[in-house]
Structure 1
Amino acid sequence: MFVLGIESSCDETGVALVEAGERGLPRLAAHALHSQIAMHQAYGGVVPELASRDHIRRVLPLAESVFAQAGQRLSDVDVVAYTRGPGLAGALLVGAGVACALGAALGRPVLGVHHLEGHLLSPFLSADPPEFPFVALLVSGGHTQLMRVDGVGRYELLGETIDDAAGEAFDKSAKLLGLPYPGGPWLAKLAEAGDPAAFKLPRPLLHSGDLDFSFAGLKTAVLTQAKKLGDELASRKSDLAASTQAAIVEVLLKKSIGAIEQTGLDRLVVAGGVGANRSLREQLDAACARRGVRVHYPELHLCTDNGAMIAMAGAMRLQSGIQRPTERYAFDVKPRWPLASLNAEPEPA
């Protein structure tokens, strides 16, 4: 069974083909990705209308590239999976529309996939896939969540952000420092040359006794410190970047370890764009090794939004039998869609 996956939730257009049998993990046959970073940099952030238009231009050429890489034909597709939400409404509609049009043209069923479930299951595409159950740290864009994962579609929310997410804290702090869009990777690179103890920045909710997150106060503290530095900011920018990263990473680290201790599980999955941060990976690896906990990450090139994770999530849902694809080609999207809601009964086919 071949599952074609289409991702268009924000500013990356991703297409991938996954092959799945009745048993064993699905196999990635090929994937292609286009990032809109260069287009949005001039505006300092994602412009939704431009993102949607660019998805329209990119998705079919990317699909052609995927089939060429895999040595397969469009007619070989058995199911077309697409990102149904959450994300930008217009961008989601592009992927959903293309997927349902392909399904109707081919006479193949379609399957709407949760974007965060795609990230959650993306480590199963790696050379060292996890096993259920595990704790998952989801750090993707505007989402920072800790989940207990007992199987496909069996998710328990342990904690989440009550305001800004970790990715937003990286990006907004980077913007305050005058760094280009997207700011998170630029801030992390700048932090390599700085002193993480140079500035005493807050670690919101670090000792709250629960597993929730809050990063809005940290962003405000970075702004305050930048103003205090004034003309010195240019020479101290790397120190402030390093101190900001250290604060974010410490909170993610302590809350993740807290989730491991609370659940008693010995596996941690880290997924989403922030999961590519080198400092976070190093500190999580060290802390978990001391506790005998295995840590799993997606491959670095699959940390960002991509079609492979959507095809994989769709294939795993089909394999598990918890959802069937539908041949109804009228579609909708869910710009806001809680991941924990997937524990409910799937919609009828």
Structure 2
Amino acid sequence: MTITQLYYVLAVAENQNFTKAAEKCFVTQPTLSMQIQKLEDQLDVQIFDRTKKPIELTDVGKKIVTQARNIVNESYRIQDIVDQQKGFIGGEFKLGIIPTIMPTLLPMFLNNFIKKHPKVKLKIEELTTEEIISRINDGHLDAAIAATPLEDENIKERVLYFEPFVGYIPGNHRLHDHKKIDVSELDIDDMLLLEDGHCFRDGVINLCKAFKNQTDDQFQLESGSIETLIKLSNEGLGMTLLPYLHTLDINDKEKENLHHFNEPSPAREVSIIYHKSELKMQIIEALQDVISGVIRGAIAFQNVNIISPLPIPK
């Protein structure tokens, strides 16, 4: 049994197709098939049910894949140990970022990080929090930037910054003339929200439900992006809440609709998160250092109340 054989098994399990798996592994399909068949013969079991389309794992195959993933991931960590011992900051690093953080934070730190650490090959994906947790636990991500706390015992969190919520209130709204707004004044009935699956949406719901017993059935209008929420609000369809960094890029006319909260301002905690067994700590620390440096000049708020990004149990 070899690590290469296990790597091929994982590729087929993920792609459910021998040809696609071979392309991903940069080998010919006969070579990949032969090695997997050799492993099956050695173990005297069938890992894959080849009669199904797409190919499926057998019951014992599912257990083998779980163990194979652990073995392959641990084999990669040997190089991580060597790099960490040498203080080398380089190599491939897979980073996930949630959609409500990606467009504002990434342009702020990416160029600085690349210049400071040119030997690191960042592979960045925009993913939901649920996808991020799954991929970190599966070993498909080295780290991620997300709203916390997540209350996952397998994941460690390093706080990067606290980002306040800011009200975006159009001229026809009942709160528009208020210089500052209070959390108790929020009404979910006239609030524009992101679609289900966004942790910022869950934060807004948690904020509103802290003061009013309202149900999801009352939500009227939802969108997939913060930019669309602003446009809908401009049309007089309701107010919305924005993460503070999103307010830095809107035009001067739209800034007239921004309303800050009375202190302590509701805010989200943004952290770099990673698996508890992660060894690429020198890259994680480098990311933390660069991001903390650029964010320090952008967010000066200190008196905040952290709102949970986790959905309220139904």
Whether TM-score is above 0.5 comes out as: no
Question: TM-score, normalised on structure 1?
Answer: 0.26
Question: TM-score, normalised on structure 2?
Answer: 0.28
- Flag the structure with more relative contact order, 1 or 2, with Cα contacts below 8 A and sequence separation at least 6: 1
* Larger Rg belongs to: 2
